[in-house]
Amino acid sequence: MKIKNYNIVATLVLLSMLIVSCTDSFFVAPPDDRLTLERTFSKEELTNKFLANVYAYVPDEHSQRFVSGTAGPWTGGSSEAEYVWSFVESQKVNNGSLDPSSGLVSKYWTEYYRGISKASIFIQNVDKCKEMPADMRKRRKAEARALRAYFYMNLIRIYGPVVIIGEEPIALDAPLDEVLRSRNSIDECVNYVNTEFLAAAADLPDPSDRAQYQNNSQEYGRIIKPIVMAMRSQLWLYAASPLFNGNPDFANVKNEDGKKLFSDFSQAKWDSARIAAKNFIATYVPSMYDLHKLAADGKLYTGGADQKYDPYQSYRESVRGNSFDNMEMVFFRISAGNSGFQYELTPFHAGAPNNTYKGSGGKSVTQEMVDLYFTDKGLRIEDDTEYANSNEYLASSGMSKKPYNNPFNTSFAFAPVNTYKEWVKREPRFYADVTFNNSVWLNTNPSKMVTTTYFNGNSGKAVGGNDYPPTGYIVRKGAPLGDWNAGGRSCVLTRLAEIYLNYAEAANECAEYAEAIKYLNLIRQRAGVPEYGTGTDSNGFERIPYTASKDEIRNRIRRERAIELAFENIRYFDVRRWLVADMAVGDGWVYPTYHLGGEGGDYYGLNISQDPPTKFFQKVVFEKRVFEKKHYLFPIPQSEININPQLVQNFGWSVTE
């Protein structure tokens, strides 16, 4: 039997020059006059443009408000944040209205398979381009292979096991049995992606140090071997995690022929995750990558006796970079269109002296996330008795009597006088990540601007119209130091801190507790909070005692990931791969103890319909979210199942269940 028209996975490997509007450096679409393959791959310039179009499917996570391209709803759709605008797609994740027929559900399936299709076409045809030197053809082919594997990895973390198309494009007149394919198992998917990563890495540049990399800036941002090896760390961490590794709820998800799609538990997968992260660190740190550290004067910290290290600036700038000096960035999308992203982070600031101060503040932090940040002693707020019982506040209002300054740079005030007590004496990462009422805005040119988020405040609901923070807090991480409308900033997708935490997590699951704590402490040391252990740490703090048990260290690692990687599109997937997103009652580590329902349930913020001195600071429910077990994965798009009955649905989404 032959077919002429179909809308399933196989169609995405057919010859097509679908145009993606994009002007990001080498993320450029090929010409729109439907050039033949022969002409395209006869010219080096056109061949490179074809590959640029494959790169265009790398997500620009700065574009989450409109989920353009492959950008996801991952920040606003997690327990850490909320957008004020109802049109933002993450609202559908939060209210549970997604279903197999939703456009957002089919979006990533369609887009990533398009990227996979184009990568396959490039791999099959690049050697026809004799204008391009043979060694460069080999390299470009490896880039496409790595991108294709990365697209598959993203499909896996969204949908679980998917269909692996393979190397050869499927012909237009292929028999039906070659076109209608069932899903591969999770182990087959992971092993395929791992094999492809290794094959690509073998043919990619492997810089021995940062200087070597920087000297060829035209290639900056392209896939190189260390980026692929970092991706392998992420792949195996997902494969080892409870969502995909022995999940009892998924045990009966099978293809029509009875093939199980999800595996039984395997400790070996945790070991693979441990080894992948360890090998990356051993090979590329510190010669190629290192945690970003700045001195109090903003210059790179070298450890000299005349320099004073500043954890606040170091952490803040680790995600803000187009700079070769930021050795922490591993994988990033260069020159992404980020002005809209910066608009979301910049408060409304009614009455500002010029528009460089005036944004929307529409990307808001939940109270649950605010309460996860440690105090300045590196403790949970419920464990720090001094934080709770300090007498440095006005008894009548709970406002601070004096400012709280950066302990590593005392000339810089984190929390000015008359700041509410809950936002004083918190760790440096809190001040880098969260704009709270009465905080000083980052842009101080030509003058300082204090942000007020209560009802009649300069960034409150009464003056902002549709632009205000629905929780009274605004996401600050990644915010501009100057004009929010200035573009050209990189969208950081992977940085070294994540790989350190990947390694710590996998090492702990392999009972290598000392290794887990070592890398957890590297994160805490850079963050300016006390390390775990005994004695005095490198910042002069008394270390915090801990018990060397898998459960306790796991909790500490999860809390550290929640803080260190906040608003970086990771928590959405972390709470799902850990199988804690339906937690009935907060455990005090992943969720505050007062929070009920994991990613669902009542979510809290400040009372933004009120003004100080009292009612504004009351914690009120701003939204009730929905999370069921089926929400651990997106459903397979119903349009694909309608055409290809061999595609079985994910757990909880079938109408027959």
Q: What is the pLDDT of residues 479-504, one digit of tens each?
A: 999 999 887 788 999 999 999 999 99
Question: pLDDT band at residue 202, thresholds of 50, 70 and 90?
Answer: very high
pLDDT tens by residue, 425-450: 999 999 999 999 999 999 988 788 99
Please report the DSSP string for 398-442 in residue order. Answer: -BBSS-EEETTEEEEEEE-TT-BGGGSSB-HHHHHHEE-TTEEPS
Mean pLDDT within 356-368: 95
Q: What is the dihedral of CA 122, 124, 126, 127, to 10 degrees?
A: 170
Cα 56 to Cα 68: distance, rounded to the nearest angstrom: 11
Give me the pLDDT at residue 32, please. 40
φ, ψ for residue 474, nearest 5 deg: -120, 135
pLDDT at site 19: 29
Q: Are 61 and 489 in contact (CB under 8 A)?
A: no
Across the range 333-356, mean pLDDT stands at 87
Per-residue pLDDT, averaged over 198-209, amounts to: 93
DSSP-derived 3-state class of residue 128: helix
The residue-averaged pLDDT of 275-280 equals 98
Phi/psi of residue 185, each to 5°? -75, 165
Cα(68)–Cα(348) distance, integer angstroms: 24
What is the rounded distance in angstroms from the CA atom of residue 360 to the CA atom of residue 366?
17
Residue 106 scores a pLDDT above 80: yes
| C-alpha gyration radius of the chain | 25
Q: Average pLDDT for residues 219-230, to the nearest whole number?
A: 92
Q: Judge whether 400 and 417 are in contact, CB under 8 Å.
A: yes
Q: Is pLDDT of 323 > 90?
A: no
pLDDT per residue over 26-59, tens digit each? 334 444 444 578 899 999 999 999 999 999 999 9
pLDDT tens digits for range 133-166: 999 999 999 999 999 999 999 999 999 999 999 8
Give the side-chain half-sphere CA count within 13 A for 290: 14
Helical (H) or strand (E) element with 27: strand 27-28
Hey, how many other C-beta atoms are within 10 angstroms of the C-beta on 269?
Answer: 23
CA distance 438 to 452: 5
Least confident of 84-93, 136-145, 205-214, 646-655: 205-214
The residue written with tokens 């022969």 in the block is 38
Three-state SS string across 267-309, please?
HHHHHHHHHHHHHHHHHHCCCCCCCCCEECCCCECCCCCCCCE
Give the tens place of pLDDT for each residue, 605-645.
999 999 998 899 999 999 999 999 999 999 999 999 999 98
pLDDT for 23 equals 35
Handedness of CA 315, 321, 325, 327 (dihedral sign): positive
Please report the pLDDT score of residue 505 as a whole number: 99
